[in-house]
Amino acid sequence: MKSHFQPIFNELGIELPSPSISIQSKFERQAEAVLALKPAVFSFVFGIPDKHILDACRQQGIITAGAATTPDEALALEAANVDVIVAAGFEAGGHRPSFLREAEDSLHGTFALTRQLSQIIRKPIVAAGGISDAEGVDAALRLGASAAQIGTAFLACEESGASTAYRERLFSPAARYTELTRVFTGRLARAVRSGLAARFAGREGDLAPFPLQSQLMAPIRNAALDTGNLEYSAVWAGQGAANLHHRKAAHLMEALTAPWR
């Protein structure tokens, strides 16, 4: 697998790393930190935490919110007594958080999924994926959601911590075109189209599984960000990126809440 990426490392003038194949999950320690901090909400993806973690959250009054990409995943989360179900549509930027079936088989749209879940589960629903303005929030509420979750529009704001080059990419014409790819991490995720993803389109067998692929790509991503050459880096973005207008979080919040003030 390294051999397939050696030419790219040569192009960037950086050394090919040796990813560690001894990988241990950090989730238990992360959950311990969450419980120690006692936040108002504990949101998670890629599955359902063990019962003892959910019970501990409940005992401490921490609201739990789990992401579902299909009706079956939502039903599984509800059966585990998770407090809030996030309807994660395929329009969303970043990883597809599917956990019952392959991500490629879990590509429900945000609004279609939200409407389905509103008919079959009793827990509050948060619509997520491709929503970037007040009209999108209103549509989600009309379809049965109790709230909407917005990522890319806030990522584009100066306060997000994203690099200037990254944020400018989100406001460029390139942001009209996003794609689902495994090339950056080994897991299916939505990002702005890039030359690197195009080079490996249809070559899933040349990629390492997550998180080895992510370790392999880390030097490439860092070099790309340092030089501003985002053709080699993942610019995570949802399909609503083409509708971005605000560069300040306060201005975005004003626009999002204006219809309800």
Give every strand in the sheet of 178-181, ordered side by side: 94-95, 189-192, 178-181
C-beta of residue 139 within 8 angstroms of C-beta of residue 115: no
- List the domains of the chain with CATH numbers: 1-18+158-246 (no CATH), 38-150 (3.20.20.70)
| Total-model pTM | 0.93
- pLDDT band of residue 205 (cuts 50, 70, 90) is confident
d(CA 167, CA 55): 39
Residue 17: its pLDDT value, please? 85
Rg for the chain, CA atoms, rounded: 19
Q: What is the pLDDT of residue 143?
A: 98
- Can you read off the two tokens belonging to residue 141? 């509420």
3-state secondary structure of 260: helix
Q: According to the model, what pLDDT value does residue 26 have?
A: 86
Q: Taking residues 110-138, what's their average pLDDT?
A: 97
What is residue 224's predicted lDDT score, i.e. its pLDDT?
86
Q: What is the pLDDT of residue 230?
A: 87
Is the pLDDT confidence value at 211 over 90?
no
| pLDDT value at residue 257 | 95
Report the mean per-residue pLDDT for the chain: 94
For residue 40, is pLDDT > 80? yes
What's the confidence (pLDDT) of residue 34? 95
How far apart are the C-alpha atoms of 192 and 233, rounded to whole Å? 9
pLDDT at 23 exceeding the cut of 80: no
Tell me if 186 sits within 8 A of 214, measured CB to CB: yes
pLDDT in tens, 215-242: 899 999 888 888 888 889 899 999 999 9
Tell me the DSSP string of 204-245: GGGSPPTTHHHHHHHHHHHHHHHHT-GGGS--B--GGGGG--
